[in-house]
A and B are shown apart, each in its own frame.
Chain A
Amino acid sequence: MTTKPFSASVRRQGDAALIDLHGEINAFAETALNQTYLQAEEDSPANIVLNFTDVSYINSTGIALIVGLMVLARKNHRQLSVYGLSDHYVEIFQVTRLVDFLTLYPDEASAVALTQS
């Protein structure tokens, strides 16, 4: 079995910074994820949007990493949103109650549109 190493990159969309996530979010993703997040924060966007469209696997350590990003966002008064989660991970985000503190969008267009409004 081959696993896809994690990678992440930042894009700007108006006042939002979009972080495209690729691969598996687990312990191996920690450094890259945190670095990319800090990069996204560089010009102090009001909104940071995580794109999960190309994420195949998130484990509990991955959930903890996302909680870590939420802590940072809260600290710096940024709105954290996500889109592109599969139905299963939407359920995971519901079970863990992350959805109570994040905004979930079905796709990039709605995420960008609503974060700009």
Chain B
Amino acid sequence: MITRLWKSITGFPKPRSKAASGEKLETTTELPPVEMIDLDLAPNDPLSAYLLSASGVVEVDRLNMDSPALHQLKNNQIKLIVPLVSQGELIGMLNLGPRRSEQDYSTDDRRLLNTLATQAAPALRVAQLVQQQQAAARERERIEQELRVARVIQQTLLPKELPQLDGWQIAALWQPARAVSGDFYDFTPFPDGHLGMVIADVTDKGVPAALVMATTRSILRSAAERWRSPGQILYQANNLLVPDIPPNMYITCLYALLDPATGKLRYANAGHPPPYQSNSEQVVELRARGMPLGLMPDMEYEEKETTLAPGDSVFFYSDGLIEAHNPDEDMFGFPLLRQILTQNRCNNDLVQCFLGELSDFTGSGWEQEDDVTFVTLQRNPEPPQDVQERLLIELSVPSAPGNERQAMEQVASVVAELGMHPERLERLKTAVAEATMNAMEHGNHYQEDKPVNIQVSTTSQRLCVSITDHGSGQVLAPTGVPDLEAKLQGLQSPRGWGLYLIENMVDDMEVISTESHHILKLYFDLKGEA
């Protein structure tokens, strides 16, 4: 305990700082100024025990004990000590030097001091408690601020964006139980197109787990730079982690290597909950043996391989999902996870689906017990056969007046095999003729060296005739219904029917303008009635 004391308190104001008051400290002129000393009263100082048991004012000169504090008091000419005791605890002392009158303290003085001590002690106690609480609140705020910063830093250790692979959907979710987390996931794209993927969970939560998470991520990344085999990467990472992490901590981790071209997925598992591969027909648990990282050196990690066919997905997760509890204390567990996948309760978005299932299971007001992390790899289904496009013909028509008929007849002849309704075929012919004429006239300005290229392709549902000219810049946009009345009154040219006719002959159309071409795509539904 450190107390600050004045050699003399009687009749003098408490000293004020000059800087604070802006004025000189005023005291009675002929008396020495107030002087403050710091007194260090250790808990094991015998004076402390003596004052606690004293019944009132204590005369310093009468005390004789081996006490550094008492020695200090005597050196500072302290004559009286008034112990301030509250709830059995010595919370302060009033220390008085000699009276300024140089007389001894009277009995009345001592009575007055005892009364003062009785009232001052509880007030001082309250003030001390308030001070302690304010300090604790400041400390809490400081820690929370540090955690907020730590969370931001930790988030930067997670992938800033998900890998974009043709034919694949990759999604992830990271939801810490506290400000920071021991869960993480990571992706490592390789130059040959392979993709490394990690999901890991450090035992414990909060700051200790977050620190180990950062180390583990770096070690896995550097291992992935040297090795490609998931088992070898885990083996190396484990050996580097064992000496560096506290004995009561370990990391469960799954490392997978995806070949997006073939769908092959090689994986090794260091004690992480097994991912599930699923499609609309079956659900398979992807198991591979291996101890968690950081427990024992030289552990071997079994490496396995599966192939994701189009439409397959793999769901990776941390135990925060499996071990979540509902209000009845039931655990989410593997059976429910499997059931959700088996029943195809998720469509495309596994991450959002499982988040919803978890929320439904735990109910509202759930206090998240553990970090939750999901990663999903989904291989896009192959397009159904009937939407695969088949090219029927490609032709090139010189831009000369009348050649649109040649284009029209050629397209009509190749389309004949599709068995379109005769009236729909007539519309197609008119649309193709008009579009070709438009391309020759407005796109190519009837320059014969600039042909119009026509491509006809079909799915089982729809025919597409694509007509390309050499025009550039602004494409001729459909102008709406021509005003026939104005034309008949001679107020408008009788022409201007081409685009309007095309629009009315097709089921759909698309105008594309590039720097060197206009492309008009005409679509016709094959199944349509007349």
Contact = CB atoms under 8 A, between A and B. Distances in A.
Interface of A: 1, 3, 24, 26-28, 57, 59-61, 63-65, 67-68, 70-71, 74, 86-88, 91-92, 95-98, 100-101
Given A71-B487, A87-B423, 13 more contacts: A3-B402, A24-B405, A27-B402, A64-B495, A67-B484, A67-B488, A68-B494, A88-B423, A88-B426, A88-B427, A91-B427, A96-B484, A100-B484
A96 B501 contact: yes
Contacts of B339: none
A70 B488 contact: yes
B504 A95 contact: yes
B433 interface: yes
A87 to B, nearest CB: 7
A1 B406 contact: yes
B13 interface: no
Nearest to A98: B484
A interface, by DSSP: helix, strand, loop or mixed?
helix
Contact of B401 (A28, A60, A64, A87): A28
A92 B402 contact: no
Contacts of A57: 405, 433
A63 B423 contact: no
A61 B495 contact: yes
Given A88-B426, A88-B427, A101-B484, A60 B495 contact: yes
Interface of B: 401-402, 404-406, 409, 423, 426-427, 430, 433-434, 437, 481-482, 484, 487-490, 493-498, 500-501, 504
A1 B409 contact: yes
A23 to B, nearest CB: 11
B281 to A, nearest CB: 49
Given A59-B433, A70-B488, A71-B494, A96 B482 contact: yes
B434 A1 contact: no
Contacts of A98: 484
10 contacts: A27-B402, A28-B401, A60-B497, A63-B501, A64-B497, A65-B494, A71-B488, A95-B500, A96-B482, A97-B484
B401 A1 contact: no
A7 to B, nearest CB: 16
Contacts of B423: 87-88, 91
A74 B488 CA distance: 8
A98 B406 CA distance: 27
Contacts of B494: 64-65, 67-68, 71
A61 B427 CA distance: 17
Contacts of A3: 402, 405
B349 to A, nearest CB: 45
B501 A95 contact: yes
A15 B522 CA distance: 46
A34 B487 CA distance: 17
Contacts of B500: 95-96
A27 B497 CA distance: 13
Which of A26, A59, A60, A70 gathers the greatest number of chain B CB atoms within 10 Å?
A: A60
A29 B421 CA distance: 30
B212 to A, nearest CB: 74
The 9 closest A-B pairs by CB, nearest first: A67-B494, A88-B426, A60-B497, A64-B495, A64-B494, A60-B498, A95-B504, A63-B497, A68-B494
A48 to B, nearest CB: 15
B476 to A, nearest CB: 13
A96 B484 CA distance: 8
Contacts of A95: 500-501, 504
